[in-house]
Amino acid sequence: MAKSGPAPTINDVARIAGVSKKTVSRVINRSPLLKQATREKVEKVIAELGYTPNPQARALALRRNFLLGLLHDNPNAQTVLNFQEGVLDAIRDTEFALVVRPVDRHSPAMLDDIRNFLELQRLYGVLILPPISENDELAALCREMGCGYVRMGSAALDEAEHLVQSNDREMVEAVVDYLVELGHERIGLIEGPAGFRSAFERREGFLAAMKRHGLDMPSEALVQGNYRFNSGVEAAHQLLSENPHVTAIFASNDEMAAGAYHAARERGVDVPTDLSLVGFDDSPIAAHIWPPMTTVGWPIREMAKAAALKLVAPDTAEAQPSNFPARLVTRNSVAPPAKKI
Amino acid sequence: MAKSGPAPTINDVARIAGVSKKTVSRVINRSPLLKQATREKVEKVIAELGYTPNPQARALALRRNFLLGLLHDNPNAQTVLNFQEGVLDAIRDTEFALVVRPVDRHSPAMLDDIRNFLELQRLYGVLILPPISENDELAALCREMGCGYVRMGSAALDEAEHLVQSNDREMVEAVVDYLVELGHERIGLIEGPAGFRSAFERREGFLAAMKRHGLDMPSEALVQGNYRFNSGVEAAHQLLSENPHVTAIFASNDEMAAGAYHAARERGVDVPTDLSLVGFDDSPIAAHIWPPMTTVGWPIREMAKAAALKLVAPDTAEAQPSNFPARLVTRNSVAPPAKKI
DNA sequence: TTGTAGGCGTTATCAG
DNA sequence: CTGATAACGCCTACAA
């Protein structure tokens, strides 16, 4: 182990091992043209000294920092935090660190801000969460600035090396199948906001499944929210007012689904007896609300880890999957329909 | 503005301004011993070139990175994320960036891990969230390593320059006062886990207020949880079984309070008619649960901003408050007691 | 396969 | 007050 005092530098290692700095540098960077004996000798000294290359010096020389950035404007705190944990799973015990950078999608200066940020911090790469990950200009900016990037999304937004994706469309189809199997025929949809690819995918999956089952989908049974709780309350009220025969509602995320619970209570509609509700995300609120909510869960943490590995270990990047399966989490917010028309 | 191409360096500025690098450096670092005319001349060139000092080079020369670290093991995602936002409010448009570092309180290697982390990244300073902020060894480690730090906590854990605190004890007393004013006399407490200072403070505040009002506090009316939802469910069941005359329960955080809602429903107890419930944190679940929960909110984001400023702007640090008032957020989970003994 | 010289962009030292 | 010169710790180019 290292003694206390100033940390050993590459010079110390070189001197003690009796080789040049460059040779030590080659060992660190796994240069292939090194004699095995030399490598082992140097590695022994490195271990004895507890030497770790100084990231600041490397950053200066390489013009590139050992920092991964997390760009996000996701409204779901748990999603963001799970993602952070996943990234840290990937970079634990490496010299990398994770810097976070919330962005404001609505600011006209957003791209310029990010440009400055990337230029200043010289990040090794960035991980981009939805919905901002759907912005192609942002991806182009990363490419232009020579900054690695991986986007997380609910559709094939980019090439495999720049993407980890969940298949939202398929999952929502599965949700509808499940509801239909239980006997539901009049199902409402609270969709997410325009401009969110996830909202688009989820709606398309819903509509496709309804059509496949030959089920009627009147336009009043589709109401738009903005992914926030309150919009779910309002959307559910509107949907239930215009469409009293609906026996189930799928909301495009858990927060809006929780809003729908809220509206149902205000109207004296019992969940799930009078109305089945399904959300999307499997966020904590789904488990904590009453009755516990049936929803769709996706493996954020694993996706985050894979995304980070694509950036920091490009050699194994090929081995990292880009597609991640979601799963239906059945709890108690769904029951066979009781209502008769 | 800068033209495209390589970013201008201190050499470019020096050459064009006709001064030495060191003089430019002095301008950047606001050295007091500079002639006004020289300073202005250099500043003009800096503005023209759109020059920004390279943080990597500064990090190497100063042996200190312009990075703030966030050390946390807080189970509440929204709290952590709000804190991140607050820190970013403080460092927006500066060269600082925020790196996150979840820690595992239960790992025996935790302190060593953090030591390595600080040594490797040479952070400018760290912000420490509760409950890990209550660990004095960690604070000592920061001091030993010459790393700035600010702790966030619910009590006076450290000197003002290293602390932003909320006064949980007072707030819980206010909660009890509120409940008593409404007529409650038999109030239960679901306290947080041992080892959490916040849990301790909240319990002490509760007990002090009960005593002050001359109210009886049988030991069965105090149950311990672990700040998680499930522990709230169990604690409420136990409390209600052993103490059926309780008309109100204060839970030490919102998540456990949400668990208490859950238990109440399972027992057919109506909130707030049969049982009033109060939480702590004002996390999203408090607003989204039914009926909306009365709770205690504290200004995390402002606290985070102040904490970050204490680190990055030590000159104004004195001006930053260390004490932040919480406030009672009254919603619909509290009503006068209806039960008769 | 290894070593030497020089550079990355900034700050510290110390003389002027 | 200002400037030459030498760090800071690592990497690239080129030479041997």
CB A132 within 8 A of CB A138: yes
pLDDT at B32: 80
Strand D closer than 7 A to residue B62 Cβ: no
Q: What is the Cα–Cα distance from A138 to A151, expressed in whole angstroms?
A: 10
Cβ of A284 within 8 Å of Cβ of B100? The answer is no
Which three-class secondary structure string do you get for A128-164? ECCCHHHCHHHHHHHHHCCCEEEEEECCCCCCHHHEE
Q: What is the Cα–Cα distance from A84 to B100, expressed in whole angstroms?
A: 8
How many CB contacts within 8 angstroms connect chain A with chain B? 108
Q: What is the Cα–Cα distance from A90 to A236, expressed in whole angstroms?
A: 40
Query: Is pLDDT above 90 for B162?
Result: yes
**Mean of the per-residue pLDDT values for chain B?**
91
| A positions 65-124 inside 8 Å of B (CB) | 65, 67, 77-78, 80-81, 84-85, 88, 95, 97-102, 117, 119-122
Task: Please name which of B132, B159, B129, B165 lies closest in space to residue B143, comparing C-alpha atoms.
Answer: B159
Q: Considering only CB atoms, which chain B residues are within 8 Å of A67?
A: 97, 99
Strand D closer than 7 A to residue B23 Cβ: yes
Q: What is the Cα–Cα distance from B44 to B23, expressed in whole angstroms?
A: 14
Cβ of A284 within 8 Å of Cβ of B288? The answer is no
Query: Would you give the DSSP letter of residue A175?
Result: H
Chosen for mutation from B100, B115, B141, B144 (greatest number of chain A CBs closer than 10 Å) is B100
Chosen for mutation from B120, B229, B331 (greatest number of chain A CBs closer than 10 Å) is B120
Asked if A261 has any chain B CB less than 8 Å from its own CB, the reply is yes
**pLDDT of chain A, 341 residues: tens digit per residue:** 334 466 788 888 888 888 888 888 888 887 777 788 888 888 888 888 888 888 888 888 888 888 999 999 977 888 999 999 999 999 988 889 999 999 998 899 999 999 888 888 889 999 999 989 999 999 999 998 888 999 999 989 999 999 999 999 999 999 999 999 999 999 999 999 998 899 999 999 999 999 999 999 999 999 999 998 999 999 999 999 999 999 999 999 999 999 999 999 999 999 999 999 999 999 888 998 999 999 999 999 999 999 999 998 877 877 888 999 999 999 999 999 985 54
Query: Would you give the DSSP letter of residue B293?
Result: P
Å from A72 to nearest chain B CA?
11
Å from B290 to nearest chain A CA?
7
Q: Map tokens 């980019």 to a residue.
A: A158
Nucleotide nearest to B60 in CA–C1' terms: D8
Query: Which secondary structure element, helix H or strand E, spans residue B329, and what is its range?
Result: strand B327-329
Query: Is pLDDT above 60 for B341?
Result: no
- The first and second tokens of residue A31, run together, are 């240069």
pLDDT at B211: 98
Q: What is the pLDDT of residues B78-134, one digit of tens each?
A: 899 999 999 999 998 888 999 999 999 889 999 999 988 888 888 999 999 998 999
Contacts of A322 (CB under 8 A, 6+ apart): A160, A163, A164, A165, A306
Kindly indicate the confidence band of residue B1, based on its pLDDT and cuts at 50, 70 and 90. very low
Cβ of A121 within 8 Å of Cβ of B65? The answer is no
Contacts of A290 (CB under 8 A, 6+ apart): B261, B262, B265, B289, B290
Query: Which secondary structure element, helix H or strand E, spans residue B239, and what is its range?
Result: helix B229-242
Q: What is the Cα–Cα distance from B1 to A244, expressed in whole angstroms?
A: 60
pLDDT at B232: 97
B216: phi then psi, degrees, rounded to nearest 5: -75, 140
For residue B28, the one-letter residue type is I
Q: Considering only CB atoms, which chain B residues are within 8 Å of A57?
A: 60
Strand D closer than 7 A to residue A62 Cβ: yes
Q: Which of residues 112-171 of B touch strand D (CB under 7 A)?
A: none
pLDDT at B184: 97
Å from B341 to nearest chain A CA?
29
Residue A307, strand partner residues: none
Task: Please name which of B127, B92, B50 lies closest in space to residue A117, comparing C-alpha atoms.
Answer: B92
Strand D bases near protein CB (under 7 Å) are 1-13
Give the CA-to-C1' distance from A173 to D16 in angstroms: 68
